[in-house]
Structure 1
Amino acid sequence: MSGPIFAPIPSSRTADDIVGQIETLILEGVLRVGDRLPGERDLSVQFDVSRPILRSALKTLEGKGLLTTRHGGGTFVADVIGEVFSKPMMDLIASHRRAAADYLEYRREIESIAADYAAQRATEDDRLLLSRIMTAMEQAYETADFRREAELDVELHNAIGECAHNIILLHTLRSCYRLLADDVFYNRTVIYGFPGARAKLLEQHRAIFDAIMASDPAAARKAVGEHIDFIEQAQQDATRDSARQNISRLRRNQREPE
């Protein structure tokens, strides 16, 4: 973390005050899954509370399943998103072909709303964050770093969800992008490897970014729709090409002399 995000607790200095502040930071998306909290000494200074009060608060948050402590490794924000789509449910979704189309349909609608809201509500800090991600995405494109491009793809969409400033939308999108990051429906690096796909995807991400920066909700919605349409077509092309390659391989194997 680049700077303190925890504020001194008022004169009452109770564990409940600390619990409430950390819960809000998680709910608002300031603290993300896996984020490590400062050490006990630093945290007690930032909150301006005694260590016993801090320990009591952290224990309460662990009991609620919001924080987790790793032996000798510190305190982290727990994986509260993973509970939205459990492992058995993710496996079930991934095994049904119709789910991929439903997933993209869902993304098209919910991301359009998020981009619309972000275009209306993004603050200067939000714009700075989006600009940094967009710059990193362009640098990854220039160096042909497919994996980094795919990571930044998820990061940009996550950031847009944060810029929408709607708590329910934020966490719904995060659960949605967990499936994307885990390549549940399709391998994003395969799509990035298609001729011309990287340039097209960068162009589309730039269009979404530009619309939000220009505070143009209609343009943001349009850009998201075109982006998802392209992904849908690319995914269909990838499936088709994979099937063709498989058949070609079988024919060759059958006809080649032993």
Structure 2
Amino acid sequence: MPDTGPFARISPMKTADEVVQQIELLLLDGVLRDGDKLPGERELAQMLDVSRPILRQALKELEARRLLVSHHGGGTYVADIIGEVFSQPLMDLIGRHSRAALDYLEYRRELEGLTAELAAKRATATDRALLERIVADMREAHERGNFDDELHADVEFHSAIGEAAHNLILLHTLRACYKLLNRGIFFNRQAVFAFADYREKLLGQHVAICDAILAGRPDDAKAAAQDHIDFVIGAVRESERAGEWDRVSRLRMLSRGTGHDTQDGKGRMTSDG
């Protein structure tokens, strides 16, 4: 029997509505993600064991519901349904005001605490194995000093906890949060990672969250997740302070080179006046 992946054979009734329902559930459960490409029409029809006309009817309905998008000659993809949580004007507005970054982290602190708590109670063996693999990837990226891979593993780690909590609303809310974070809407994650020993501390915090979830300790998992966000809040504030210090230092340097007070070769103050 051929591998059908996440798709299951449709009942003998073989209606388009059943195809629509199955794909909608895969979207709702987070199995299919934004941007995922569906198998080709022939292959998907075989996986679902339906005729191609029935499949076409189902895909057309899913497109009408704005859950799928088709590119002429390029296949069918999962639509960017999460991106619609925040409008573009709102994202632009948030990005122009740094205060929003701390509000965002405050929101995430409570959200991720609850998510980690539920994950410690509900994680399946598959969920736990995924978390262990991601932490191993995180360690490897950390040892190689690869910022991009480490940042990617960071988002994957928190997304996997969202999946392990087995709450659909939490799952999609978290994915919306991480999507905005990846776009740099709230703050520059690279800048936070750049501080000396911060990457080491962040890794330790991720390990602590993972260990608590794997051990089935909900209270410890919640506390570890919230401690992690508290640390990030402090790092963001420090990054903003460092940025302001750098701005002032540059202004001072420019001032020294524009005919104002300068030092002579012996370190004495002189004036062009």
CA distance in 1, matches of 2:216, 2:36: 30
Alpha-carbon distance, 1:214 to partner: 0.7
Contact 2:69 2:78 in 1 (8 A): yes
SS of the counterpart of 2:85? coil
Structure 2 counterpart of 1:83, one-letter code:
E
Q: RMSD of aligned C-alpha atoms?
A: 1.3
Q: Secondary structure at the match of 1:83?
A: helix
**What is the TM-score with the length of structure 2 in the denominator?**
0.91
Q: Residue 223 of structure 2 aligns with which residue? A: 222
Aligned to 2:214: 213
The structure with the largest alpha-carbon Rg is 2
Q: C-alpha offsets along residues 214-256 of structure 1, whole Å, 9 cap, x if unaligned?
A: 1111111111111101100110001001111111111111112
Question: What's the counterpart of residue 157 of structure 2?
Answer: 156
For residues 119-168 of structure 1, the C-alpha deviation after alignment (integer angstroms, 9 at most, x for no partner) is: 10011111121122111111110111111111111111111111110111
The structural deviation recorded for 1:257 is 5.8
User: Would the aligned equivalents of 2:4 and 2:47 in 1 still touch at CA under 8 Å?
Assistant: no
Letter matched to residue 170 of structure 1: L
| Partner amino acid, structure 1, of 2:53 | P
TM-score (norm 1): 0.97
Cα pair distance change 1:185/1:46, threshold 3 Å: same
Partner in structure 2 of residue 202 of structure 1: 203
Residue of structure 2 in register with 1:41 after alignment: 42
Partner of 1:11: 12
Q: What's the counterpart of residue 242 of structure 1? A: 243
Q: Which runs of 5+ in 1 are unaligned?
A: none
Counterparts of 1:73 and 1:124, CA distance in 2: 37
Equivalent residue runs for 1:21-170 within 5 Å: 21-170=22-171
What's the counterpart of residue 262 of structure 2? Answer: none
Q: Secondary structure at the match of 1:82?
A: helix
Superposed CA deviations along residues 182-232 of structure 1, whole A, max 9, x for unmatched, are 111111111111100110111011111111111111111111111101100
How big is the shift at 1:32?
0.6
Secondary structure of 1:76's counterpart equals: strand
Unpaired runs of 5+ residues, structure 2, are 260-273
Distance in 2 between residues matched to 1:257 and 1:207, nearest whole Å: 53
Structure 1 partner of 2:264:
none
Tell me if the contact between 2:34 and 2:82 (Cα under 8 Å) persists in the aligned partners: yes
Q: Matched residue of 2:83: which SS?
A: coil
| Distance in 2, Cα, partners of 1:162 & 1:78 | 20
Runs of 4+ in 1 over 3 A off after TM superposition: none
Q: CA deviation at 1:3?
A: 6.5
Tell me if the contact between 2:29 and 2:168 (Cα under 8 Å) persists in the aligned partners: yes
